A and B are shown apart, each in its own frame.
Chain A
Amino acid sequence: MPEPPAVSADDLIRQLDDADPEARRVAALGLEGVAGAVEPLLDRVGAEEQPAVRDAMLTTLAGHDTDRVAAGLAVHLASEDAGLRTAAAEALAAMPVSVPALVPRLLEDPDHDVRMLCARVLADLPHPEALTWLAVMIKDDPHPNVVASAIDALLPSLGPEHAELLQRAVRRFPDDPFLRFTVEAALR
């Protein structure tokens, strides 16, 4: 049985616009490791309406883990589409090489929703500074929901050394019952 002819990267990039979602999904996965596919994928991922196709695009993009991909995905943290912003956060959490350079900017983003998603990224980012950045968010972020998200992200790694940090967060937001509950539960 002769092997089917190999599909070229150019063909797969064209296939990203196929009307059939399964064809688009297969094309996105087939472009793994193809540097020339980064821009076509970044161009399309925000507009892709099928979650399975979008996830395939994000998986392939995250595999590149470059500054260009990180910057291209970070813009979707502010998306109006809840599925897209959550999926973008998951993809960024799988990019330990390029995401750290973005973190200082994300921590200062004027949109507190973006900073909350940054806490989710840091929760799963395999990087030695991730816990330090979460501690900075708990210590300095002006929004209680961001602080609560950072505490939630830090939860699996919490130790006695974090007690003062958490208690200080409660003192910063004395009228926030959720934050108080979270800290009391964490300290237990």
Chain B
Amino acid sequence: MTETQPKVLVVDDAATVRAYHSTLLTEAGFRVVQAANGLEAVETALTTPFDLFVVDVNMPKMNGYTFVETLRSDTVGTPAPVVMISTEDRPGDADRAYAAGANLYLVKPVPPERLVRIARLLTADRVAAR
């Protein structure tokens, strides 16, 4: 593990989803930190810089949209890319995600190779700038 490896915060209240996304990204060479809800994720993001956020929508305490809005607000103020991944594909969900400040909205299940490819694409500039 080196400091040049991109660092990802995986935010999901489902332990199995957190483990799945974390395993995929870790095996692909990312450093991964996990949070079980938006509130926990905000606390983590306030103290640790991340290169990418992978965020669920439906979570207790603070849902994904509110978390992303908080990331983009002065409270955290990070420009790091955000991928929202939801089990839901209701009309308007993606619009809501983009309005909150997400860079990409995906519906589960996301094929493993696609998630890794997207994570690499979204973090490439930040890694190159180091």
Contact = CB atoms under 8 A, between A and B. Distances in A.
Nearest to B21: A178
Contact of B87 (A145, A155, A176): A145
B2 interface: no
Given A113-B87, A113-B88, A145-B109, A82 B16 contact: no
Q: Which size bracket describes the interface of A in this complex? A: 20 to 34
Contacts of A90: 60
Contact of A182 (B16, B57, B111): B16
Interface residues of B, number: 24
A177 B111 contact: yes
A149 B13 CA distance: 11
A82 B87 contact: no
B109 A185 contact: no
B65 interface: yes
Contacts of B109: 144-145, 176-179
Query: Counting chain B CB atoms within 10 Å of each CB, which of A86, A112, A176, A185 scores highest?
Result: A86
7 closest pairs, A vs B, by CB? A182-B16, A145-B87, A82-B63, A178-B109, A152-B14, A152-B16, A113-B88
20 contacts: A51-B66, A80-B90, A82-B63, A83-B63, A83-B65, A85-B58, A86-B59, A90-B60, A113-B87, A113-B90, A120-B58, A149-B14, A151-B16, A155-B16, A178-B20, A181-B19, A181-B23, A182-B20, A185-B16, A186-B16
